[in-house]
Structure 1
Amino acid sequence: MRNISLITGIFFLVFYLLITLLGWINLRVVFRHYRGLKNLSLAYFMVSLLIIAGFTILFIYPYRAHSAKNYSLYFIFNSILILVLFSKIPVALAGLVSLPFFRIRYRYHIAFAGSMLSLGIAFSMLWGFTLGPRILDKHHIEIFHENLPKEFDGFRLTQLSDFHLGNFHYPEMLQSALEENALFNPHLFVFTGDLVNNFKEETSTWENDLKNFSASHGKFAVLGNHDYGDYYRWPDKVSRQENFDGIVEGFEKCGFELLLNESRSIVLTSDSIYIVGVENWGHPPFQQYADLGKASENIQQGAFRILLSHDPAHWESVIKSMPEFPLTLSGHSHGAQWGIKLAGFDFSMIIFSRKTWGGLYQGDSNYLYVNKGIGTIGLPFRLDMPPEITFITLRKK
């Protein structure tokens, strides 16, 4: 909403008015058969007018919701907008298809089918807005690698990603994640970026809860693209830097050791591995702050490394061909927050824009795991793409 051009805004309003009119043509045929539904015509137009008014106000005053506490205004409106818009499209198409049919009987069947399809979409999306973001998916995987030191056979990691705390409102789900993590009893707990949407204030409500995630050998995190505050028009560089410093401090208050192109050694008896964390790296328009060379300083040649890099595009474009990084953990994609899970197979439309968007991927000599995130961005919505906590066990091959 904040970056929509005038032409795009006008186009959307014209499109919305068009599908509203076509939808009304369709629904009018259905309402004629059920007298008790006639009053719904008024409700239909009232909701449409409210959507247009809300869109216009937020378009004219996009920066009124400039602080973290005001995200709710945008997300609530966007949720209603998308729900109404997608529900109207089938009924509008049915109205368009029925126009050539003058016999009421044919028009009714087409109108009724379109209305039922719209109703089905509405209920699916309601589920996605209400229960979808609240049901935690607990994903256990084992990763085998021949270069893993013997002492680390059975080494356990918990991964979370993409909290987006500015619009995170799911304490029950967070409690479930805490309990599952305690049961898993990991050696390492890692967070792969996007703690916030934009602002340092977002962490304050959740610092005590996030501090409760425990691991015997440390909690590490990296920055995601949202953790730099790049998506807000700051009045000056000083304000931007103060916000960034506050976000970094927020990571620390949540109990994380933030790795900014750095590494740490993890020692078990006589063997060791390295946890390496780089800043965000993505394809344009995302910035490329990562410095693998700096992050790998003082690491022994041949040592087993676990790399934390927020955007999986980094692995696909750079790390996939680097055997010195046997395992990379990422997030960022959210699996587009909607998809299809059928017979153990996950599908999301995001596959048409990026190859690595969720789950485990294998290169010639290394692996990438992409966590689908625990929070949401854009819309508080998840449909068949639930929030995820990942439990990884490393095995000596």
Structure 2
Amino acid sequence: MLRWVIFVIIYLVLGFYSLQAIKTASRYPWVHYLFILLSLFVIGNFLYQFTGTDGGRVLSRPKSYAFGFLLAMLSFQMITIVFLFGEDIFRLFVGVYQKIFSTQKEFSIPSRRRFLSIIALGIAALPFGALLMGMYKGKYNYKVLKYQLEFDDLPDAFDGYQITQISDVHSGSFDNRSKVTYGIDLINKQQSDVILFTGDMVNNKMEEMLPWRDLFAKLEAKDGVYSVLGNHDYGDYVSWESEALKAQNLQDLKNLQKEMGFDLLLDSHRYLERNGEKIALLGVENWGRGGFKKAGDLEKAKQGVSKDDFKILMSHDPSHWEDVVIQDDYHFHLTLSGHTHGMQFGVEIPGWVKWSPVKWRYKYWAGVYQELGQFINVNRGFGFIGYPGRVGIWPEISVITLKKKGLT
């Protein structure tokens, strides 16, 4: 309870400070009252959603939107305060200087400068508006990102082989069937040889996928649809009445994937064949650094696979690639991961800049990387969780074409 009280006090102080900029910039009282009401509504809705019996752990759509609106308001307040606090230091310095070195007897601080408040509010409105637009439109702004990767030892028959990768569906967050349908159609439109899904089908429970199973069952590729589990698929982030119910939820999710036509790889492998040649497709359960579940067993998945085989590995968390996979003596040519979502927020201008705060936690967080002659593609995710939107880091459908070096 104390942490909520402290949080609300800090929020109100930030809001009061931002209100000073609004009062300086606008002389209309209704503008001031509108900001006060909006601020109170945002914090009130957030508290209502997150102080329930579950402690806010079940990320329902109302909770996600409450968090999103709070995030937008806090961004507005923080940027406004950066300008106002700097000006206040300057105003205080001027007041002290005038008291000491001028003839005036009373200590006074100069008034706020209106033009600076207007600039502060204008700049603060940019992330505020972007976060709101990300909730309205950005979360379904699907992008098809295409990569061509070359390998010396790719079997000739697989030259030009096309893979579509999707990841992090988080079906419990979806709220627009027509937009999700568009995304599914866009995946099928790529007409890839195989579709690979790298985990996190739900936020917490299998039942979240039920309204969407008919759509995802429409995914089709010549060589099939394969999948692995992500950290959210195990039901670890909600309370269960018993371990038996939690285990049943996981089994139901596995069964559901099978019903939809997904071949779920649980520390196992399959061979993809073409014209008498083959490549190995391996999939491990979730293995993540920093408190995430380490269920994946790479050694088990490798059983029956030759070192000489061309190998593609599906592993949800890219930290597995960094900590384990690239050092393995089996040499995994291509690893496909997701998990990071690119934090659903950042700046990307192809060929110029790619930045997100998530880079401070994950070295490999979005796109293709190469280390020790091995590739990884970290998919930015098809869905969203927590903040119900995306800004700058859009939902991704990866299309990867395998090429044999030296083969025309």
| Superposed counterparts of 1:114-125, under 5 Å | 114-125=120-131
2:288 is aligned, of 249, 270, 282, to 282
CA–CA separation in structure 2 for the residues paired with 1:248 and 1:255 = 11
CA–CA separation in structure 2 for the residues paired with 1:51 and 1:181 = 37
**1:339 maps to 2:346:** yes
Q: Secondary structure at the match of 2:38?
A: helix
**1:94 maps to 2:83:** yes
1:47 is aligned, of 38, 44, 57, to 38
Give 1:128 shift: 1.5
Tell me: CA distance 1:7–1:365, structure 2 relative to 1, closer, same or farther (3 Å).
farther
Determine the structure 1 residue equivalent to 2:52.
61
Q: Secondary structure at the match of 1:205?
A: helix
Contact in 1 for aligned 2:163/2:399 (Cα 8 Å): yes
1:72 is aligned, of 44, 56, 61, to 61
Tell me: CA distance 1:239–1:147, structure 2 relative to 1, closer, same or farther (3 Å).
same
Q: Secondary structure at the match of 1:389?
A: strand
Contact in 2 for aligned 1:98/1:111 (Cα 8 Å): no
CA–CA separation in structure 1 for the residues paired with 2:213 and 2:392 = 29
Determine the structure 2 residue equivalent to 1:377.
385
Contact in 1 for aligned 2:68/2:131 (Cα 8 Å): no
Contact in 2 for aligned 1:20/1:92 (Cα 8 Å): no
1:313 is aligned, of 316, 319, 333, to 319
**1:386 maps to 2:394:** yes
Contact in 1 for aligned 2:57/2:237 (Cα 8 Å): no
CA–CA separation in structure 2 for the residues paired with 1:91 and 1:168 = 33
Q: Secondary structure at the match of 1:295?
A: helix
Supply the AA of the counterpart residue of 2:38: V
CA–CA separation in structure 2 for the residues paired with 1:51 and 1:123 = 15
CA–CA separation in structure 2 for the residues paired with 1:298 and 1:288 = 22
| Paired residue total | 385
CA–CA separation in structure 1 for the residues paired with 2:296 and 2:56 = 31
Contact in 2 for aligned 1:151/1:268 (Cα 8 Å): yes
| Deviation per residue, 1:229-259 (Å, 9 max, x gap) | 0001212111111211122122223321111
Determine the structure 1 residue equivalent to 2:96.
none
CA–CA separation in structure 2 for the residues paired with 1:252 and 1:7 = 47
CA–CA separation in structure 2 for the residues paired with 1:16 and 1:302 = 59
| Superposed counterparts of 1:170-249, under 5 Å | 170-249=176-255
Supply the AA of the counterpart residue of 1:83: A
Contact in 2 for aligned 1:65/1:73 (Cα 8 Å): no
Q: Secondary structure at the match of 2:54?
A: helix
1:30 is aligned, of 20, 25, 28, to 25
| Deviation per residue, 1:101-122 (Å, 9 max, x gap) | 3444x52122111111122222
1:324 is aligned, of 322, 331, 337, to 331
CA–CA separation in structure 2 for the residues paired with 1:108 and 1:269 = 74
Supply the AA of the counterpart residue of 2:373: S
CA–CA separation in structure 2 for the residues paired with 1:52 and 1:176 = 34
**1:13 maps to 2:8:** yes
Contact in 1 for aligned 2:336/2:376 (Cα 8 Å): yes
CA–CA separation in structure 1 for the residues paired with 2:129 and 2:57 = 32
> Unaligned 5+ residue runs, structure 1?
1-5
| Superposed counterparts of 1:101-120, under 5 Å | 101=91, 102-104=109-111, 107-120=113-126
Tell which deviates more after alignment, 163-172 or 174-183: 174-183
CA–CA separation in structure 2 for the residues paired with 1:394 and 1:343 = 21
Q: Given the two structures, how large is their TM-score scaled by the length of structure 2? A: 0.89
Tell which deviates more after alignment, 289-298 or 106-115: 106-115
Give 1:354 shift: 1.1
CA–CA separation in structure 2 for the residues paired with 1:27 and 1:181 = 46
Supply the AA of the counterpart residue of 1:385: I
Determine the structure 2 residue equivalent to 1:128.
134
CA–CA separation in structure 1 for the residues paired with 2:53 and 2:117 = 38
Give 1:148 shift: 1.1
Determine the structure 1 residue equivalent to 2:359.
351
Determine the structure 2 residue equivalent to 1:3.
none
Contact in 2 for aligned 1:305/1:326 (Cα 8 Å): yes
Contact in 2 for aligned 1:282/1:288 (Cα 8 Å): yes
> Unaligned 5+ residue runs, structure 2?
92-108
Contact in 2 for aligned 1:136/1:173 (Cα 8 Å): no
Q: Given the two structures, how large is their TM-score scaled by the length of structure 1? A: 0.92
Determine the structure 1 residue equivalent to 2:172.
166
Contact in 2 for aligned 1:27/1:91 (Cα 8 Å): no
| Deviation per residue, 1:164-205 (Å, 9 max, x gap) | 000123434433333333333211110000000001111111
Determine the structure 1 residue equivalent to 2:275.
269
CA–CA separation in structure 1 for the residues paired with 2:32 and 2:395 = 38
Q: Say what the alpha-carbon RMSD is for the aligned residues.
A: 1.9
CA–CA separation in structure 1 for the residues paired with 2:21 and 2:125 = 13
CA–CA separation in structure 2 for the residues paired with 1:364 and 1:200 = 38
CA–CA separation in structure 2 for the residues paired with 1:253 and 1:79 = 34
Tell which deviates more after alignment, 346-355 or 217-226: 346-355
